[in-house]
């Protein structure tokens, strides 16, 4: 049974100390004079990212839940941040995600996937993962993951996952959502405060979150959905603790151009991930010659990488897939001149070029950025009239590319929970109605968080028996098709 | 049967039989049931006089006191009524199943497509509120003889503006005997529900006779209760109340349980539920999993029973 969230745990929220004062004044005023009564909504979603938008689209797309009155509050301007239809295919956002077939299936079911800018989505059919210390390697593709005695059926999928810019995902969902209509969108609008409503003679809103927006409007939420990111103000309001730690690692991202479309050609794209002691280095295919980089490393090295000239940065990325951990350690101590140093060292480090990504020839101007890696998990995803989805509920190490997919899974599960509640006349904000959402998602997300965390720890070890064991593990898994199939099913979100 | 339970169960049967033979208090509307009928059937036709309302109420004052005491925790999702809350979605699923078992008449201007509900023994309003929220509902009238739980129901309703829409949900502190009879079929109800009630009623026979009059021709009477078997005695009185403590002590009086077969016979005699208009669903609470449908469960545990009033 999930821990109970006492009503007393609700507390007023403010995003900054200056807002606290404003908020307190508001409270005092409302105590003396009768404030304008809030507008009543069934679902108020704070946060217009992929998870929040997917939730609202799911609710609007279903005949069962389309009768609900819903609102979206987003601090950014959703219209301004849309992807342009004719955006150049030579330029990609550095914020990309790997969408699993399960996530894509859900987007299809809610009618969104047909709105995607397909030219900017890149499916990949193979994954190459190797140990940066011992070079033990595992390759994933559906051909080698078949059952022992049967060939892969032609109807079976060949795609492991889809690389997509986050802005493409949100634009896709917004496009579907505007076609469906019926959402009161407040954007760009900030949430000034959230507090519980009053018990008046007529109506008792003492269990309802009342949101005061930066435009002065007040909304009462039967169900308040926190899709408002890792520092979720909704989670703070609900008094739900979120636990975890920082990895003391940063993820360096960049949009890159390679010398070609990849070793498998345009129809067989390959994702690469090399586990270095400082963290995994991943090169993920984008359309054409483009690729996106995620390099998890120490904050100091991330800072160095960001300070390099384009030429030195490109040299470092190429070196990251080719040179030894010791070489890389030295290269990170240099403030410039990596290009020449790498060229010289590569001559003395024989590699099978076809087993690693094609060489980077260009880095997109201004696309090198970094973000701190964290692991966070909320104690519970639901409270009275509150549900958390996406990063508000959990933050994961990006090494398996599961973050956005977990949020999509949350949104789909919450739509199912709300749908069942509507069909059986439950108050969709009640603790009881929301229980199934928490029980369905918590264990699954927790398992994924745990696996990715353990992988990170496993590959942070540079020497000793662990290196031998983990290499043995990789080789063994690589040799066993069915076991690999199981792992790939997990990665594809089919499990 | 555990040896400790035998004397109590035996006493119960003796008492029921004794009442039937010595005091066959039968209301004028209730047909006499032959004395040869098994003791269990007698239970449906017998009635006990209550010192507080001797004339006609089916309400047991001991039960009223018991539920008054439970009132404050009625809506606590982790409180003593948690099992009822968890069961509630199944009630709707069963009603839908009943309705779908016969072809729905095409709605015309005279037959509204929205339904009128009467919920008897509504308690804190768990079912009544949920029925009132359904988009297919026109109105819900919910009655209960226990004043304290109705106060809770009324207070809880104020937490949801949807339920305050005029005429959507009406609570009445009445017993079924006091509820005005419909003067025309249109005034009767499409769905009359009696959930977890008849096991708390003094005399289910006369009680059901009262209820029947409120069902619209073509409408459904839907109830849920517990079969009177040794398994249900152990489960509800010993396991649920004593061992697990998930049901408040003193909630159940096994002697009052009614079996599904008794209901079938009783309704068939009155010409109800012909052409497949009788439905049953056995259910069981599985800790950790919730309420699950158990085929055949009506023979030994909790069950739903639905019967259609012929057109």
> Chain B contact for A436, CB < 8 A?
no
**Which residues in chain B touch residue A425, judged by CB atoms under 8 angstroms apart?**
88, 92, 129-134, 137
Q: Which of B130, B155, B164 sits opposite A426 (nearest CB)?
A: B130
Q: Is B91 known as a binding-site position?
A: yes
Q: Give the minimum alpha-carbon distance from A259 to chain B in angstroms, rounded to a whole number.
A: 56
Cβ-based interface (< 8 Å): residues of B facing A = 77-78, 85-86, 88-89, 92-93, 129-135, 137, 155, 158-161, 164
Q: Is B92 known as a binding-site position?
A: no
Instruction: Report in angstroms the alpha-carbon separations of A119 from A37, A87, A362.
Output: 48, 10, 21
Q: What is the largest CA-CA distance in chain B?
A: 62
ipTM above 0.90, yes or no: no
Q: Are the Cβ atoms of A204 and B158 closer than 8 angstroms?
A: yes
Please give the Cα distance from B291 to B281 (Å, whole number). Answer: 12
Q: Which of A202, A427, A435 sits opposite B160 (nearest CB)?
A: A427
- In the numeric block, the tokens 């005997």 are attached to B177
Q: Give the minimum alpha-carbon distance from B89 to chain A in angstroms, rounded to a whole number.
A: 5
| Residue B118: per-residue pLDDT | 98
- In the numeric block, the tokens 């928490």 are attached to A438
Domains of chain B: 77-102+113-308 (3.40.50.150)
Q: Give the minimum alpha-carbon distance from B133 to chain A in angstroms, rounded to a whole number.
A: 5
Nearest CA in chain B to A39: B161
Q: Which of B86, B133, B159 sits opposite A425 (nearest CB)?
A: B133
Please give the Cα distance from A362 to A290 (Å, whole number). Answer: 9
Nearest CA in chain B to A429: B160
Q: Which of B89, B137, B159 sits opposite A204 (nearest CB)?
A: B159
Establish, for the pair of chains A and B, how many residue pairs have beta carbons separated by less than 8 Å.
Answer: 47
Q: Is B43 known as a binding-site position?
A: no
**Cβ atoms of residues A129 and A273 within 8 Å:** yes
Could you say which residues from 252 to 311 on chain A have a Cβ atom under 8 Å away from some Cβ of chain B? none
Instruction: Report in angstroms the alpha-carbon separations of A46 from A52, A392, A432, A481, B45.
Output: 7, 10, 22, 44, 59
Nearest CA in chain A to B159: A204
The whole-number average pLDDT for the span B57-68 is 71
pLDDT digits (tens, 9 = 90+) for B15-48: 333 333 222 222 222 222 223 223 333 344 433 3
For residue A234, give the nearest of A66, A393, A402 by alpha carbon. Answer: A393
SS (H, E, C) chain B: CCCCHHHHHHHHHHHHHHHHHHCCCCCCCCCCCCCCCCHHHHHHHCCCCCCCCCCCCCCCHHHHHHHHHHHHHCCCCCCCCHHHHHHHHHHHHHHHHHHHCCCCCCCCCCCCCCEEEEEECCCCCHHHHHHHHCCCEEEEEEECCCHHHHHHHHHHHCCCHHHHCCCCEEEECCCHHHCCCCCCHHHCEEEEEEECCHHHCCCHHHHHHHHHCCEEEEEEEEEEEECCCHHHHHHHHHHHHHHCCCCCCCCCCHHHCCCHHHHHHHHHHCCCCCCCCEEEEEEEEECCCEEEECCCHHHCCEEEEEEECCC
Residue B135 CB-density burial (10 A; 0-12 exposed, 13-18 middle, 19+ buried): exposed
Q: Give the minimum alpha-carbon distance from B74 to chain A in angstroms, rounded to a whole number.
A: 13
Percent over 90 (pLDDT), chain B: 38
Please give the Cα distance from B196 to B217 (Å, whole number). Answer: 24
| Residue A28: per-residue pLDDT | 36
Mutate to test the interface with A, among B89, B122, B155, B169 (most CBs of A within 10 A): B89
Cα dihedral across residues A111, A115, A117, A118: positive or negative: positive
Write the CATH number of the domain with boundaries A7-83+167-241+379-453: 3.50.50.60
A119 or B101: whose pLDDT is higher?
A: A119
Encoded tokens for A41? 């909504």
Q: Which of A40, A206, A424 sits opposite B161 (nearest CB)?
A: A40
Q: Which of A67, A203, A432 sits opposite B164 (nearest CB)?
A: A203
Q: Is B209 known as a binding-site position?
A: no
Q: Give the minimum alpha-carbon distance from B163 to chain A in angstroms, rounded to a whole number.
A: 10
Predicted confidence pLDDT, tens digits, chain A (495 residues): 444 433 333 444 433 333 333 333 333 334 333 457 899 999 999 999 999 999 999 999 999 999 999 999 999 999 998 999 889 999 999 999 999 999 999 999 999 999 999 999 999 999 898 887 777 777 777 666 555 555 555 556 688 899 999 999 999 999 999 999 999 999 999 999 999 999 988 899 999 999 999 999 999 999 999 999 999 999 999 999 998 888 899 999 999 999 999 999 999 999 999 988 888 899 999 999 999 999 999 999 999 999 999 999 999 999 999 999 999 999 999 999 999 999 999 988 888 889 999 999 999 999 999 999 888 899 999 999 999 999 999 988 776 667 899 999 999 999 999 999 999 999 999 999 999 999 999 888 887 777 767 666 666 665 555 555 555 555 555 554 555 565 566 656 554
**Cβ atoms of residues A258 and A358 within 8 Å:** yes
The whole-number average pLDDT for the span B136-153 is 93
Q: Are the Cβ atoms of B160 and A432 closer than 8 angstroms?
A: no
CATH class label, A98-165+246-372+459-492: alpha beta
For residue A35, give the nearest of A218, A237, A223 by alpha carbon. Answer: A218
Instruction: Report in angstroms the alpha-carbon separations of A385 from A40, A59, A388, B154.
Output: 13, 17, 10, 20
Cα dihedral across residues A109, A115, A117, A119: positive or negative: positive
Percent over 70 (pLDDT), chain B: 67
pLDDT digits (tens, 9 = 90+) for B86-100: 999 999 999 999 998
**Which residues in chain B touch residue A6, judged by CB atoms under 8 angstroms apart?**
none
Q: How far is CA A50 from the centre of its chain?
A: 8
**Which residues in chain B touch residue A206, judged by CB atoms under 8 angstroms apart?**
159
The whole-number average pLDDT for the span B136-164 is 94
Could you tell me the pTM of the whole model? Answer: 0.81
Q: Which of A425, A430, A432 sits opposite B134 (nearest CB)?
A: A425
Q: Are the Cβ atoms of B89 and A420 closer than 8 angstroms?
A: yes
pLDDT digits (tens, 9 = 90+) for B255-284: 667 788 888 888 999 889 888 899 999 988
Encoded tokens for A435? 């229980």
Please give the Cα distance from B19 to B25 (Å, whole number). Answer: 9
Q: Are the Cβ atoms of B133 and A204 closer than 8 angstroms?
A: no
Phi, psi of A264, rounded to the nearest 5 degrees: -95, 5
Helix, strand, coil share of chain A (percent; to 5): 40, 25, 35
pLDDT digits (tens, 9 = 90+) for B154-203: 999 999 999 999 899 999 999 999 999 999 988 999 999 999 888 777 77
Could you say which residues from 160 to 219 on chain A have a Cβ atom under 8 Å away from some Cβ of chain B? 199, 202-208
Q: Is B121 known as a binding-site position?
A: yes
Domain ranges across chain A: 7-83+167-241+379-453, 98-165+246-372+459-492
Q: How large is the angle between the packed helices A101-109 and A403-423, nearest 10 degrees?
A: 40
Q: Give the minimum alpha-carbon distance from A275 to chain B in angstroms, rounded to a whole number.
A: 41
Q: How large is the angle between the packed helices A338-347 and A325-333, nearest 10 degrees?
A: 160
C-alpha R_g of chain A: 24
Q: Are the Cβ atoms of B130 and A432 closer than 8 angstroms?
A: no
**Cβ atoms of residues B208 and B178 within 8 Å:** no
DSSP state of A204: B
């Amino acid at each position: 049974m999930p821990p109970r969230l006492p009503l007393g745990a609700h507390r007023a929220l403010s995003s900054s100390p200056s807002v606290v004062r404003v908020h307190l004044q508001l409270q005092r005023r409302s105590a003396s004079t009768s404030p304008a009564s809030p507008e009543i909504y069934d679902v108020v979603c704070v946060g217009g990212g992929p998870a929040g938008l997917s939730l609202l689209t799911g609710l609007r797309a279903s005949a069962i839940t389309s009768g609900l009155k819903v609102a979206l509050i987003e601090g950014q301007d959703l219209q301004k941040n849309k992807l342009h239809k004719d955006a150049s295919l030579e330029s990609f956002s550095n914020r990309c995600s790997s969408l699993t077939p399960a996530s894509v299936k859900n987007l299809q079911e809610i009618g969104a996937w047909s709105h995607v800018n397909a030219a900017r989505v890149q499916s990949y059919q193979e994954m190459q993962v190797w140990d940066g210390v011992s070079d033990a390697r595992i390759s994933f593709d559906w051909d080698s993951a078949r059952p022992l005695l049967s060939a892969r059926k032609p109807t079976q999928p060949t795609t492991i996952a889809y690389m997509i810019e986050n802005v493409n995902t949100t634009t896709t969902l917004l496009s579907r959502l505007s076609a469906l209509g019926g959402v009161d969108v407040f954007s760009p609008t900030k949430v000034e405060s959230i507090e519980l409503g009053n018990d008046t003679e007529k109506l008792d809103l003492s269990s309802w979150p009342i949101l005061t927006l930066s435009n002065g409007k007040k909304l009462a939420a039967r169900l308040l959905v926190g899709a408002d990111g890792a520092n979720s103000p909704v989670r703070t309001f609900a008094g739900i603790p979120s636990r975890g730690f920082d990895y003391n690692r940063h993820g360096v991202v960049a949009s890159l151009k390679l010398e070609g479309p990849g070793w498998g050609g345009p129809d067989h794209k390959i994702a690469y991930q090399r586990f270095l002691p400082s963290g995994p280095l991943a090169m993920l295919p984008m359309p054409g010659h483009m690729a996106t980089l995620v390099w998890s490393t120490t904050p100091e090295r991330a800072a160095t990488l960001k300070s390099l000239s384009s030429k030195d940065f490109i040299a470092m990325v190429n070196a990251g897939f080719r040179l030894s951990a010791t070489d890389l350690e030295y290269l990170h101590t240099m403030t410039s001149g990596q290009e020449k140093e790498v060229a010289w060292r590569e001559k003395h480090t024989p590699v099978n070029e076809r087993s690693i990504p094609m060489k980077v020839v260009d880095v997109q101007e201004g696309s090198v950025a970094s973000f701190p890696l964290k692991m966070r998990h909320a104690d519970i995803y639901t409270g009275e009239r509150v549900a958390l989805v996406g990063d508000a509920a959990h933050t994961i190490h990006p090494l398996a590319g599961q973050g956005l997919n977990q949020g999509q899974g949350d949104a789909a599960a919450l739509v199912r929970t709300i749908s069942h509640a509507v069909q059986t006349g439950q108050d969709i904000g009640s603790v009881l109605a929301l229980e199934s959402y928490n029980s369905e998602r918590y264990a699954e997300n927790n398992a994924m968080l745990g696996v990715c965390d353990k992988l990170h720890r496993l590959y942070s070890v540079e020497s000793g028996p662990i290196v031998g064991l983990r290499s043995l593990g990789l080789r063994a898994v690589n040799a066993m098709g069915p076991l690999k199939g199981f792992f790939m099913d997990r990665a594809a979100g089919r499990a | 049967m555990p040896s400790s339970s035998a004397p109590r169960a035996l006493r119960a049967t003796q008492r029921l039989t004794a009442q039937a033979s010595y005091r066959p208090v039968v209301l004028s509307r209730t047909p006499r049931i032959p004395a040869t009928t098994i003791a269990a059937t007698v239970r449906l036709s017998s009635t006990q006089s209550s010192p507080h309302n001797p004339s006609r109420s089916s309400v047991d004052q001991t039960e009223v006191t018991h539920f008054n005491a439970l009132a404050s925790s009625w809506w606590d999702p982790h409180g003593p009524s948690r099992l009822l809350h968890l069961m509630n979605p199944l009630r709707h699923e069963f009603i839908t199943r009943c309705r779908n078992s016969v072809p729905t008449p095409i709605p015309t201007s005279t037959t509204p497509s929205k339904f009128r509900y009467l919920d008897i023994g509504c308690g804190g309003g768990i079912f009544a509120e949920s029925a009132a929220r359904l988009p297919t509902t026109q109105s819900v009238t919910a009655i209960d003889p226990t004043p304290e739980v109705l106060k809770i129901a009324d207070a809880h309703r104020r937490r949801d503006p949807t339920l305050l829409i005029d005429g959507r949900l009406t609570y009445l502190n009445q017993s079924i005997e006091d509820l005005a009879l419909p003067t025309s079929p249109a005034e009767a109800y499409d769905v009359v529900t009696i959930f977890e009630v008849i096991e708390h009623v003094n005399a289910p026979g006369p009680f059901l006779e009262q209820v029947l009059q409120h069902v619209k021709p073509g409408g459904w009477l839907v109830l849920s209760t517990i079969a009177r078997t040794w398994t249900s005695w152990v489960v509800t009185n010993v396991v649920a109340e004593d061992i697990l403590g998930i049901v408040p002590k003193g909630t159940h009086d096994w002697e009052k349980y009614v079996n599904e077969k008794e209901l079938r016979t009783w309704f068939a005699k009155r010409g109800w539920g012909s052409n497949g208009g009788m439905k049953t669903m056995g259910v069981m609470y599985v800790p950790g999993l919730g309420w699950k449908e158990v085929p055949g469960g009506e023979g030994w545990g909790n069950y739903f029973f639905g019967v259609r009033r012929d057109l």
